[in-house]
Amino acid sequence: MENHETRPPGPPRGLPIDSDTAGDTVAEGRHRWWAFVRSHADVLAVISAGGALGSLGRWSVDELLPWSGTTFPWATFLVNVSGALALGVLMVLVVEVWPPRRYVRPFVGVGVLGGWTTFSTYVLEARDLLAAGRAATAFAYVGGSLVAGLVAVWLGIAAARLLAPGSRREGAR
């Protein structure tokens, strides 16, 4: 008769969790994760606060511009494109104009703009439009969002470089 061991669910003991942990065991990986969280708790708190603000803003726009499920989703389109524009401006400011600051990029870039913009809603709305038989609207939304977002981030970068005093890229205009 064969001997069958019962093992707890999860990764086998002593083996790496994944390639990112480079040989750590499960216990070592957990320890590294908690050490990272403890050493970056201030930045994680700043990101969380920014995310809450950005999400509340996006919710407000959704309330002002409700979506029927079959028309063009203007609320998501507007928040994603405006978020791309704002991210372009922000990156010029934090990389080329302002001195290094620990919390600006995490708070505004990851938190506020991460909460403001939404890829998941964008994809879900496109899927819903397709399911409702509105393929032309879905493709206009998907393509239009991509093109408008890329143009917006480019415009944000260009405008910030043009208007921001002290930009290190002033000669690149």
Torsions phi, psi of 55, nearest 5? -65, -40
Per-residue b or e along 25-57, where b marks 16 or more CB atoms closer than 10 Å to that residue's CB? bbeebeeeeeeeeeeeeebeebbebbbebbbeb
Sign of CA dihedral 130, 64, 80, 151: positive
Spatial contact of 51 and 109, defined as CB atoms under 8 Å apart: no
Tell whether residue 149 is among the known ligand binding residues: no
Cα–Cα distance, 119 to 139 (Å, whole number): 15
- Please, what is the end-to-end C-alpha distance for the chain in angstroms? 79
In angstroms, what is the C-alpha Rg of the chain? 22
133 is in an annotated binding site: no
| Secondary structure of residue 73 in the 3-state scheme | coil
- Which amino acids are annotated as binding site for Na(+), given as ranges? 114, 117
- Which amino acids are annotated as binding site, given as ranges? 114, 117
